[in-house]
Amino acid sequence: MAELITIDDPEDPRLHDYVALTDVELRRRREPEEGLFIAEGEKVIRRARLAGYRMRSMLLSAKWIDQMKDVIDEVPAPVYAVTPAVAEQVTGYHVHRGALASMQRKPAAPVKDVLAGARRVAVFEDLVDHANTGAAFRNAAALGVDAVLLSPRCADPLYRRSVKVSMGAVLSLPYAVLDPWPDGLTLLRDEGFTIAALCLADNAVSLDDFAARPHERLALVFGTEGNGLSTAALRAADEWVTIPMSNDIDSLNVAAASAVAFYATRP
């Protein structure tokens, strides 16, 4: 059973995991170095536990203590009860969901383990926006993608914003960092995947035509916000695929594009 501890001082060192959650640069350095990530909201906290992540602690406002009682009873980690004002002083924002948990990260998964048994894989190059990362993971989980691979410069999927936007999908969908990039894409080809790069090239095949072909194992590659895929990543692909556009719109947001492509090519 967790220990329930009331804390009134926002400077209390026991709250260290939750300090300055709105400082993106600080948290991007701290969290991977210290092996933690923050789950926000009751649903995400529960999904993190179901996905096998170990809880370090919880930070709850009073009204959430009863709501989370079953978790408090089951998890041998401290639970810090604070007022909304103290929570805001510690985190740097109004914690309107009222429930935060510090979770222990798992060891990085080998790429081959992530690919084992997968038929559909999403690959993202230099996706730097945490909201787009979370949305892309949610799309992948909802639309038949079995695993996600990320280039080394992608945003951290376990950053609080990514986890929140994904509704916890980043916690259950297998993923790994593909390094070196993009040379590591050859591993996908060796594993029998067709590598399809989503791009705006004039000689790209339309998504409708591409999806009409049979693909036993397929990896869909998406580029960074704005610039799209690098020349090196495009050269590493087997196929170039484009989503037909109308009304003088040249492209979709990367998360929206991923949803369209995942749906069109689902097994």
pLDDT tens-place string over residues 200-240: 999 999 999 999 999 999 999 999 988 899 999 999 999 99
Q: What is the mean pLDDT of the chain?
A: 95
Rounded to the nearest 10 degrees, the angle between the axes of helix 254-264 and helix 130-142 is 10
Please compute the mean of the pLDDT values over residues 186-193 and round it to a whole number: 96
- The predicted pLDDT at position 168 comes to 93
Query: What is the model's pLDDT at position 21?
Result: 96
User: What pLDDT score was predicted for residue 248?
Assistant: 87
Query: For residue range 242-264, what is the model confidence (pLDDT) as tens digits?
Result: 999 999 888 899 999 999 999 99
pLDDT at 58: 96
Classify residue 117 as exposed, middle or buried by CB count within 10 Å of its CB (0-12, 13-18, 19+). Answer: exposed
Give the pTM. 0.93
The confidence band for 1, taking pLDDT boundaries of 50, 70 and 90, is low
Q: How far apart are CA 34 and CA 17, in angstroms?
A: 9
| pLDDT over 90 (residue 34) | yes
